[in-house]
Amino acid sequence: MKTIIKSIYSNSHILKAMSISQFKVKYSGSILGVWHAVINPILVMFAINFVFTTVIKLDIRNFSLFALSGIFPWFFFSNAIYEGTLSVVNQNNFLRQFKLPLEIIPLASVISNFLNFLIGLCVVYPIFIFFNYKILVFFPLLVIILFLNLLFVCGLSLILSVLNGFYRDFGHLLGVILMLWFWITPVFYSRDMIPLDVRWVFNINPMTYYVECYRELIFGNSMPGLFMILGAVSWCVFSVISGLFIFSFYKNKLLKKI
């Protein structure tokens, strides 16, 4: 595991260059460009807002902002995991042409999506400030949660990229898995609304902790509970350690497999 950490550190310049390159390629030729980072989550927010306020008539104050505070981090997670999981297999020709550390490939995909997330957040965050400027007090903690979230997704993408390398069927199932994961994550409802007898399902969902932390910091104007913060830290540490260990253990076998 120490070897792979040294490899990532020594090749950080390559990781940075690949991340920026993937970010630019994603929007090359697009009319709206990086505005897709804002438009896509907002369109989903409008759809959810219509269903849950007009059809189901859910009574939540400022539901549009409430939903938006959960949709943005979910979009980053789902896009980064999807691209990071498939990255090693999809770029096997690139790996044959250039001698690169294998771990750089999924990490670059995650960081590219994180840059996308940050740009979208820079546009949306002022909207939340407009409705409640007091959330600025919690900005330093928001930066910490962003960092923890990034590390968590990096670790998980390393694990899933290995899984997809050995079992290609997993890549075909990933879209369905993420859709199911979306519905058991409190994106458009709060954790307090979940019945106590099934709350354990949400407690073992790592995205519950990150979404709830984001929501409290940019919508709720309050410090996330200790349980939420400890959950976010714990899942981050577990994901990074597991990801580095599993990837370093299977790296050579994965290179032969692809």
Q: Tell me the backbone φ, ψ of residue 32, rounded to 5 degrees.
A: -80, -20
Spatial distance between the Cα atoms of 151 and 238, rounded to a whole number of angstroms: 10
Confidence of residue 3 (pLDDT cuts 50, 70, 90): confident
Task: Give mean pLDDT, residues 97-122.
Answer: 89
Q: Is the confidence at residue 93, as pLDDT, over 90?
A: no
Cα distances (Å, whole numbers) of residue 132 to 84, 119, 171: 35, 21, 41
Q: Is the confidence at residue 59, as pLDDT, over 70?
A: no
What's the pLDDT at 224?
94
Q: What is the DSSP letter of 145?
A: H
Higher pLDDT, 174 or 171: 174
What's the pLDDT at 97?
66
Confidence of residue 110 (pLDDT cuts 50, 70, 90): very high
Give 257's contacts (C-beta < 8 A, 6+ positions apart). 165, 166
What's the pLDDT at 195?
86
Q: What is the value of pTM for the model shown?
A: 0.91
What's the pLDDT at 36?
63
Higher pLDDT, 28 or 197: 197
What's the pLDDT at 33?
60
Q: Is the confidence at residue 81, as pLDDT, over 70?
A: yes
Sequence length of the chain is 258
Spatial distance between the Cα atoms of 185 and 207, rounded to a whole number of angstroms: 6
Please name the residue that has the structure tokens 């269903």: 51
Higher pLDDT, 227 or 257: 227
Confidence of residue 41 (pLDDT cuts 50, 70, 90): confident
Task: Give mean pLDDT, residues 222-237.
Answer: 95
